[in-house]
Amino acid sequence: MKNTISNTLLITITSLMTNVACASDFQQCPLELLVNQTAQSTMSDWKIFNSDEKHPYVGISFSEGSPDKKMILAPDKEKKVKGGVLATWHFPTSAEEYWASCLYAETSVTIARRLPSNIQSCAVEYDGRSSPPIIKNWHCTLQKK
């Protein structure tokens, strides 16, 4: 009897763990991004310089469809947690694919990738000590197949 309960508990824990996907499962966003930006136009007497600075990773956004379609999703829920904010997105079944975009400070350049088709939700924890808040970590949950 004791062995059966242990096996059942192990199977339950294992099945719960397999439905949570860490950010690393989707490849973490690079901590910084080297960007070569170009100005679209200049004014007379001004000269353009490129600093070639690396831009630090500060956040993530989720979109329904490719990020270039600009269908950026707002979180469904936000709550204060110790030292920050926890934002949660839920992804209902959609004809469009869901994407995660890595956001970097002081640049409009982002990098993005598709999320798995069975994505259910993602939670992002932000450090509330900075303004605007900077991402601490994120994880997603997959729907059971």
Q: What is the pLDDT of residues 25-66, one digit of tens each?
A: 566 888 998 888 777 777 788 877 777 788 999 999 999 999
Tokens 């990020």, residue located:
67
Percent of the chain with pLDDT strictly greater than 70: 81
Q: Is the dihedral of CA 100, 71, 78, 90 positive or negative?
A: negative
Does position 105 have pLDDT exceeding 80, yes or no? yes
Q: What is the pTM of this model?
A: 0.74
Please state the domain extents for the chain.
Answer: 21-30+53-145
Q: Is the dihedral of CA 14, 139, 33, 56 positive or negative?
A: negative
Q: Can you tell me the distance from the alpha carbon of 127 to that of 138, in angstroms, rounded to the nearest whole number? A: 12
Instruction: Point out which residues pair with 136 in neighbouring strands.
Output: none
